[in-house]
Amino acid sequence: MAQSNPPFMSGVPELLLLRLLDQNEMYGYELVRSIRAATGEAISLGEGVIYPVLHSLERNGSLKSKRKAVSGRTRVYYSLTKKGRQRLGKLRDDWRRIQGGIANALEVPSHA
Amino acid sequence: MHELDLSRLQNELLRSGVAPRHVRRTVDELSDHYEDLVEQGLSEGLDSRSARSGAMTSLGEFEDIARAVRAQPELRSWAFRFPRVAAVVYPLTCAVLLPAAPVFIGAAHANHLARWALCLFLSAVVTAAMFLMLQMAITLT
């Protein structure tokens, strides 16, 4: 089983969920599979923890959900709203800024 | 044991003030997710017991899920988010609704209430008549 990485996970599930839902509407199980595929299994979550994040994003208007009957089972599909796209843009900018900062810090030779 | 039992998680979330509709929805979606994981395990050739065990592991510890839900304050019921408002609104609501409750209930069961009142009235008349007869008997003897 892939190792989970909780200390660095703050805000990451939100960013990934918004990014993946920007492409297609998906339900929870499908989203977890897509996160694994998109990150090359570098990020592994306890799969159940995505639901509170999804519900919270829906509550703040970044996502909307609808129920669909598929193969005799009702699934909740999530999709991005306009507000969600704006939130994704902001999170992506934040992430790139932090990523760039950390990359710079790693390249600077350490002082004795 | 490899059967999914979400009742403990459900109770834990309700106790920590998560709104019942969010609890219900979380439990429903986790249950569906678990079934998907089991189906996946079976399709990969696992036996039922291993598929269920693997599904439980993939879903994650209930404590972690509960912590993730609690970390989202907007999923809490409003009484937990605004306890001071709730401390005023709940007693006021009770003060209005409790005295009005018999009226509402009476209106909803008017037929039964009318029958019951008629019976009560008739039994009062019969009792009064018996007392009257008793009183007359005492007076006349």
In chain A, residues with a C-beta closer than 8 Å to the C-beta of B29 are 28, 51, 76
Is a pLDDT exceeding 80 seen at residue A44? no
In chain B, residues with a C-beta closer than 8 Å to the C-beta of A1 are 57
Under 8 Å between Cβ of A43 and A19 = no
Is a pLDDT exceeding 70 seen at residue A4? no
CB contact under 8 A, A76 and B74: no
Write the pLDDT tens digit of every residue in A91-109: 999 999 988 898 999 887 7
Number of CB pairs, chain A paired with chain B, less than 8 A apart: 68
CB contact under 8 A, B30 and A48: yes
Instruction: Give the per-residue pLDDT at B80.
Output: 85
- Average pLDDT for consecutive 10-residue bins of chain B (141 residues)? 78 92 93 93 93 92 90 88 86 86 82 89 94 91 79
Q: Quote ipTM for the complex.
A: 0.79
pTM of the predicted structure, to 2 decimals: 0.72
Angle at A68 between CA A11 and CA A88, to 5 degrees: 25
What gap in Å lies between CA B114 and CA A22, rounded to an integer?
A: 63
Instruction: Give the per-residue pLDDT at B48.
Output: 92
Nearest CA-CA distance, residue B85 and chain A, Å: 21
In chain A, residues with a C-beta closer than 8 Å to the C-beta of B68 are 48-49, 52-53
